[in-house]
């Protein structure tokens, strides 16, 4: 195993790395750093997010750049504004005492601020293709004398439509520069750029399974869809210091989970594609300063985020593929520290988990969710520890005076208990946590072993139905408590929901009586054996005779007829 000192770096840089806590280089750093320092070829590096690519090109460039230069010596192109800021910050943190100026250039930032920075003289410019091209057209940025050009996340730049801009920029750079291209994938378009615009180059690849797996404890919990949020709360609460990312599949899920966390008193924010750049920067700044400790995000929105010392990455929704899994978990367990990657898996997703394990060549072990009693005990222990720390440091005179006054009239244990109750206001109560079944019995229909019934709802997203509105309908119309409603699955054309047997019978009875007058139809799902997935029910549902409620399609025809009548009017 090689160390940073074996890669040809100077003592000054090694000291910087030591202060930052970096000891062992990642595979892409181990391959790239010596090649850039001692060779003269261009570099093509294939590695996933989280493998330390910024240091892989940043460290050797810092070593090779001259101090007090009068021209831009290096240009780094990134697909997003956030990544530009992060790369610039990382290079600045790695340069140590070396006199190099580094400036991020991106859209949305004050152009006058950028002009002032460029006029002063800059050694390294990190920017997005669009804004870099703007400055080249204005003549406010000169790249004809650069020694190094870096294309970071090249595949993402192409995916975002920047290929033409990137090619225009490359044509304006000096011919004798060295080009370092980094990409998570190597599609034909990337290799075309390499062959057309780069000189002789070496290719370095890092296998997917090498992504910081050794420094990340990977576990999974098998939970029902409806229990995920409660499971998330238990995981957050049992940790002494939770500081992590929660990944959801859709923007709606991100907003929902973040909102529910905030409603419960957690310091959480949402991040997805609909968030403006200005708000995005504010949210990430809050995360970096630990003003919030939970960020709920989609994969796309989290691309390029590089926040140090995250304790957890939680896959609230199982990733779509092994590459996404590798991307996500690479955000914890960095700088030699142990991180934890947690994946929530519903029973029907077990095969997908096995596929991810196989392709990523990693072990993801199953763990039982912490029990409510264990969570409460962990909270109590933290409270005791914090009180003892305050007592051992400096008790303020005002509080001591209040304490003496209270103790003159009441027993010490009563005063302390009242203060704890006042301070935590039910936070240590087990009633704050809803029960979670130890193991899901499958997402299929019918009556399961716990006496629950899977119901089919003949409306879905296309009808404007949401999980929340379905719960409100059932609770309002059938007088059933919301906590009895489980495993809601809203699909495009129809939905599924699970209820205890008795409550399910009430729902079936209510909607059977109002079948003709109600647009909403709820019947018992056709799948009768526990453990069969809704996918099978959906596949069968495409046939005319087997879809629940299809034979009694009068309501559907009536609605279509009414719609046509309204159209004629």
Q: How far apart are CA 410 and CA 419, in angstroms?
A: 12
> For 527-565, how does the pLDDT look when each residue is reduced to its tens digit (9 = 90+)?
433 333 343 333 333 333 333 333 333 344 343 444 444
Kindly state whether residue 438 falls inside one of the protein's structural domains. Answer: no
Q: How many structural domains does the chain have?
A: 4
pLDDT range class, residue 292, cuts 50, 70, 90: very high
Residues 217 and 175 in one domain: no
Residue 240: inside a domain = yes
Residues 323 and 451 in one domain: no
Is residue 568 domain-resident?
no
Judged by average pLDDT, the poorest of 10-24, 123-137, 357-371, 420-434 is 420-434
% of the chain exceeding 70 in pLDDT: 85
Helix axes 81-94, 11-20, angle to 10 degrees: 120
* Domain range enclosing 517: 446-553
DSSP state of 210: G
441 lies in some domain: no
Mean pLDDT across the chain: 82
Residues 236 and 352 in one domain: yes
Q: Do 450 and 504 share a domain, yes or no?
A: yes
329 and 394 fall within a common domain:
no
124 and 62 assigned to the same domain: yes
In a domain, 487, yes or no: yes
Kindly state whether residue 567 falls inside one of the protein's structural domains: no
Question: β-strand 486-490 against 495-500: which pairing, if any?
Answer: antiparallel
Q: Read off the pLDDT of each residue in 106-132 and give the average, rounded to a whole number.
A: 91
Looking up tokens 């001692």, which residue turns up?
38
Higher pLDDT, 302 or 243: 243
Asked if 86 and 218 sit in the same domain, the reply is no
342 strand-pairing partners: 219, 314
**According to the model, what pLDDT value does residue 557 have?**
39
77: three-class secondary structure by DSSP: strand
Residue 167 confidence (pLDDT): 94
Residue 46's CATH number: 3.40.50.300
Residue 569: pLDDT band (50, 70, 90) is: very low
Tokens of 420: 């704890």
In a domain, residue 376? The reply is: no
Q: Are residues 510 and 422 in the same domain?
A: no
Q: Are residues 154 and 235 in the same domain?
A: no
Instruction: Provide CB contacts within 8 A for 347, sequence distance 6+.
Output: 222, 224, 439, 440, 441, 442, 443, 531
364 with 393, same domain: the answer is no
Angstrom distance (rounded) from CA 495 to CA 520: 11
Boundary-marking domain end, from 150, 172, 206 = 206
CATH number at residue 459: 3.30.70.330
Pair (387, 491) in one structural domain? no
pLDDT band, residue 438 (cuts 50/70/90): low
Cα 213 from chain centre: 17
| End-of-domain residue from the set 164, 188, 206 | 206
pTM: 0.48
Shared-domain flag, residues 55 and 97? yes
């Amino acid at each position: 195993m090689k160390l940073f000192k074996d890669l040809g770096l100077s003592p000054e840089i090694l000291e910087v790395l030591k202060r930052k806590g970096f000891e062992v280089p990642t595979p892409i750093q181990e391959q790239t750093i010596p090649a850039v320092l001692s060779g003269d070829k261009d570099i093509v590096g294939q590695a996933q997010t989280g493998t330390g690519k910024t240091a892989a090109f940043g460290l050797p460039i810092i070593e090779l750049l001259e101090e007090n230069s009068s021209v831009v010596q290096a240009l780094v192109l990134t697909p997003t504004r956030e990544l530009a800021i992060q790369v610039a910050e990382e290079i600045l943190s790695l340069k140590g005492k070396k006199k190099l100026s580094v400036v991020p250039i991106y859209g949305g930032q004050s152009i006058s601020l950028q002009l002032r920075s460029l006029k002063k003289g800059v050694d390294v410019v990190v920017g997005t293709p669009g804004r870099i091209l703007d400055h080249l057209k204005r003549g406010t940025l000169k790249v004809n004398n650069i020694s190094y050009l870096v294309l970071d996340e090249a595949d993402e730049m192409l995916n975002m439509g920047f290929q033409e801009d990137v090619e225009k920029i490359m044509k304006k750079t000096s011919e004798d520069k060295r080009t370092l291209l980094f990409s998570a994938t190597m599609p034909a378009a990337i290799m075309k750029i390499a062959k057309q615009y780069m000189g002789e180059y070496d290719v370095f690849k890092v296998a997917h399974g090498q992504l910081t797996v050794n420094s990340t404890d990977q576990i999974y919990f098998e939970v029902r869809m409806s229990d995920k949020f409660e499971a998330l709360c238990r995981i957050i609460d049992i940790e002494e210091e939770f500081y992590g990312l929660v990944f959801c599949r859709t923007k709606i899920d991100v907003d929902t989970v973040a909102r529910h966390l905030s409603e419960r008193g957690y310091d959480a924010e949402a991040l997805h594609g609909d968030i403006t750049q200005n708000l995005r920067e504010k949210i990430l700044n809050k995360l970096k300063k630990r003003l919030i400790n939970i960020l709920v995000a989609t994969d796309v929105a989290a691309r390029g985020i590089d926040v140090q010392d995250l304790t957890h990455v939680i896959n609230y929704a199982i990733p779509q593929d092994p590459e996404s899994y590798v991307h996500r978990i690479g955000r914890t367990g960095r700088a030699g520290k142990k991180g934890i990657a947690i994946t929530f898996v519903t029973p029907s997703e077990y095969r997908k988990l096995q596929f991810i394990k196989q392709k990523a060549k990693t072990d993801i072990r199953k763990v039982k969710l912490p029990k409510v009693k264990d969570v409460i005990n962990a909270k109590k222990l933290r409270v005791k520890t914090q009180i003892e720390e305050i007592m051992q440091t400096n008790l303020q005179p005002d509080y001591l005076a209040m304490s003496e006054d209270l103790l003159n009239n009441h027993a010490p244990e009563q005063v302390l208990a009242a203060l704890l109750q006042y301070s935590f206001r039910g936070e240590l109560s087990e009633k704050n946590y809803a029960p979670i079944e130890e193991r899901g019995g499958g997402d299929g229909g019918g009556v399961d072993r716990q006496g629950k019934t899977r119901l089919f709802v003949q409306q879905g997203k296309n009808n404007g139905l949401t999980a929340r509105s379905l719960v409100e309908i059932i609770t309002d119309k059938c007088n059933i408590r919301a906590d009895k409603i489980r495993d809601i699955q809203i699909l495009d054309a129809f939905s599924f929901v699970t209820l205890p047997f008795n409550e399910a019978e009430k729902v079936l009875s209510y909607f059977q009586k109002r079948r003709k007058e109600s647009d909403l139809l709820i019947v018992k799902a056709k799948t009768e054996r526990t453990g069969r997935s809704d996918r099978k029910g959906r596949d069968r549902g495409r046939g005319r005779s087997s879809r629940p409620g299809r034979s009694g399609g009068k309501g559907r025809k009536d609605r279509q007829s009414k719609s046509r009548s309204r159209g004629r009017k």
